[in-house]
Structure 1
């Protein structure tokens, strides 16, 4: 008797659902967006990235590259040759990332700047290791090439730009010294630690994380940017940690530290700290990867193209510009 009653009830429910289905038309639910969770859609093919955002109203085209590893020097470099010799001997001849043809860092840099011009880039973003050591001639040459096009350019450091291998002094002190004495022309008036630029409704944030360490003032400035709600792209050298990635993706990597530092001897620098990342490092990582107004981040360092999705946002790495690699990143309004 109980089974019959249950069957009757189930039949009645199914009939009721059927009637409701007939009476009420199927309507696609409207996608709800709030200021706290702006909608972002992204896609990429080869060296081209497209980002669509509900928070922008104009189209922004950004030429992004890293790791050109220019090694040029002149007589001014002679007193520093013992510190630059290893990197001065690297990247003399490389293969183009698309064609496989022989090329050089100089040729790749020039071609990238010309491509930025021909494709109508609104700005050029250089994400570190553009030079292999803080060469005066290298910085002058970069400026000479950039000044041939009427495109604003922005720069942040990599771990090689400021590093003279084996030079006495702490890494932090040497970075401060060579950023000011050699690399300042590439920064202009901007703060080398972290600065922002507004272009076509998008905030570009450049962060120097070239020693894998985040300063408290960098964390605090990022917190202010996140709180502002303005859509932003984070541009830096060392990529963010994602599950399964090596310690080269070092910002926020739980295994980063002395035990995993395999290159400090050959690079003749301080070993990473035994205790690993600080609370400030992790706070910066959490802020950046959970920010609702983040459109994407782009980094260099690993010399390979890739993308990791962290909390629904893309975090890209770009191949080595020594081999001609770049991203043409386009941000467009999302229209439905």
Structure 2
């Protein structure tokens, strides 16, 4: 009996999902198994197959052509000049946090600036459809670092899309809430990187693929972000969600904090070190839990293919029912992620 290319892919990729369960818990393994069974039955429309340390392939019936994306997060550029003088008391800790790093593959000594430059060289060679920067590109909102990075990005000739992380806008020790500080320093320093997009949330359309760039760098979701995301999901088009902070998944720590049920004052152990307001006693606002529910159910009810985040400085994959979440290693070590989406 002759096997069609589509049937072969379904069986092969379903097998790859089973192989990937070797180091995950029983709940996740069960969800993985269910996903694979759905693919074999023709119910599932998406398969995600991690190839190696920095490559992911996504197959979808809703993708019309091969699309290549390049992701980086957590470069932690820390350069500054005399303009930083009035703020050095607020940037001192992070200005020395990542001066020297090790390459994620060779373990050779390196630094954030060197790896950012080398990564952009790879971007120019790869010629992706878009470069996506998922926050903490800076250790604090340094004018010198932001201007330098924007110049480097512009020179690639590649369309790039930025969303902030919790360090990009944070001068440690300044008064006001994180939401207020984010708004202030985004508009004072980071706005040129958005190139006219809404810094809180925006949508990138590449050949019918919707890529939602979400700022959840306070771990919380605002009502307008929830409303925007719901509108995108209701389009029922293939969608990726990209943010700085990863979303809660069972078995992961509170650093996967967007929607985490234990995200609250009792679990906030470093607010004094970071000199910021403590997380609220009552935990998340309703909008954050509502957004998490949209994400967790989006792979079944809508066409949310996967989510991608940085923040935790680790590469992990979590699978909750049909929702797959990837976190990526820090770019200060030279790490990046290449995503290829292909018709299924």
TM normalised by structure 2 equals 0.86
Partner of 1:310: 320
Taking the aligned partners of 2:49 and 2:240, their CA distance within structure 1 comes to: 13
Measured against aligned partners, the alpha-carbon deviations of 1:217-274 in whole angstroms (never above 9, x if no partner) come to 1111111111100111100011011111100000111101000001100000000000
| 1:298 has 2:308 as partner | yes
Cα pair 1:70 1:131 within 8 Å, conserved: yes
Cα pair 2:164 2:215 within 8 Å, conserved: yes
Structure 1 consecutive aligned stretches of length 4 or more whose deviation exceeds 6 Å:
none
| 1:203 has 2:210 as partner | yes
Measured against aligned partners, the alpha-carbon deviations of 1:185-233 in whole angstroms (never above 9, x if no partner) come to 1111000110001012211100000000100111111111111001111
| 1:118 has 2:128 as partner | no
Partner of 1:57: 64
Taking the aligned partners of 1:172 and 1:41, their CA distance within structure 2 comes to: 34
| 1:134 has 2:131 as partner | no
Measured against aligned partners, the alpha-carbon deviations of 1:52-96 in whole angstroms (never above 9, x if no partner) come to 111111111111010000000000000000000110011111100
Partner of 2:246: 239
Cα pair 2:46 2:305 within 8 Å, conserved: no
| 1:72 has 2:79 as partner | yes
Cα pair 2:48 2:56 within 8 Å, conserved: no
Q: How well do the aligned residues superpose, as a CA RMSD in angstroms?
A: 1.3
Taking the aligned partners of 1:120 and 1:235, their CA distance within structure 2 comes to: 20
Structure of higher CA gyration radius: 1
Structure 2 gap ranges (5+): 1-38
Counterpart secondary structure, 1:233 = strand
Partner of 1:162: 169
Taking the aligned partners of 2:320 and 2:273, their CA distance within structure 1 comes to: 33
Aligned partner (choices 249, 259, 274) of residue 252 of structure 1: 259
Structure 1 gap ranges (5+): 1-28
Taking the aligned partners of 2:112 and 2:161, their CA distance within structure 1 comes to: 19
Cα pair 1:40 1:51 within 8 Å, conserved: yes
Structure with more helix by fraction: 2
CA shift at 1:30, angstroms? 8.3
Counterpart secondary structure, 2:155 = coil
